[in-house]
Amino acid sequence: MILKDLLSHFEIEEEFPEYLYEQTFNEVFLDGEMSEEDNKYKIVITTRQDVTHQMFLNPSDEFPVVILSELPNGLLNGMKFGREKGQVTYINGL
């Protein structure tokens, strides 16, 4: 699944950096619960393996897309996607 499909699925009509529209993400987010506050969106789902996946969409932020997963042991990992293609920060073992 690409971001463009996810935005359409949740009827999010915000502007993101062009490269992000074709960025692939796990399809599990399509079944998540979406909340919105001040043009900031959060999609959350917990899988059968008891992993909680969160996607934060904030089009005006330095990192407009952030993926954060909490593992059953409490550790966090994920990725932050910046405004420019290739500007990715990994989140490991917090």
Give residue 69's pLDDT. Answer: 95
- In tens, the pLDDT along 4-63 reads 999 999 999 999 999 999 999 999 999 999 999 999 999 999 998 999 999 999 999 999
Give residue 92's pLDDT. Answer: 82
Give residue 94's pLDDT. Answer: 47
Distance of CA 13 to the CA centre of its chain: 15
User: Which has the closest alpha carbon to 5: 21, 19, 16?
Assistant: 21
Q: CA distances (Å), 57 to each of 40, 49, 60, 68, 72, in order?
A: 6, 24, 9, 12, 24
Cα(32)–Cα(54) distance, integer angstroms: 9
- In tens, the pLDDT along 76-93 reads 999 999 999 999 999 885
